[in-house]
Structures are given as structure tokens and as C-alpha cells.
Amino acid sequence: MIDSLFVALVTLFITIISLYKWIIIVSALLSWVQPDPYNPIVQILTKLTEPAYAMVRKFIPTVFGGMDMAPLILIFAIQFLEIFVQRILYTMM
């Protein structure tokens, strides 16, 4: 019973991480086209991604050749975390 609860919680965590990765990808793609900043969807995406970008920018210089690499760094970090948690889950089973 505890194992099933743990597996369910870890699966939920992995799903949330994967969803956040897609939010970052959509936000990065939208930044290329300069969308209307008053659009509610753009505002939500900005509110969801800017704190994570700011955390990355605080530790690593992310602007190279005029392009901000913070989304790419975050996607790599999230991908690493996702794989790491999945491997831990599979070794425990």
C-alpha cells in the first residue's frame, strides 16, 4: 500500500516536471515573436517562467551572442531531474 502511494506521488511529480518543461518551451518560442504583453496567456507564462529564469541568471551568465540561454539551461536541468527521479523509482521497484 505504501509502495503504491509512493509510486503515485513520484509519477505525479514527474508529470508536473514534464508539464513545466513544456511551459518553458512554449514561453521560449513565444519570446521569439514578441507577443502582446497584455495577453492573459502570455502573462501567465511569464509569471510561471520568470522566477526560474531569474534563479538561473543569478548563478550563470545566460546571454550569449544576444540570445538568452536560460530556457535551454532550465530544460536541460529539468530533463536531468526527470531522468534521475525515474531511475530512482525503477531501481526501487
Domain of 78?
2-92
Are the C-beta atoms of residues 62 and 56 closer than 8 Å to each other? yes
Residue 7 CB contacts under 8 Å (≥ 6 apart), including other chains: 89, 93
pLDDT of residue 2: 73
pLDDT of residue 20: 96
Residue 68: CA atoms inside 13 Å, Cβ hemisphere, count? 14
Burial of 93 (0-12, 13-18, 19+ CB in 10 A): exposed
Low-confidence ranges of the chain (pLDDT < 50): none
Q: Rounded to two decimals, what is the model's pTM?
A: 0.86
pLDDT of residue 67: 87
Number of domains in the chain: 1
pLDDT of residue 42: 94
pLDDT of residue 1: 75
pLDDT of residue 30: 92
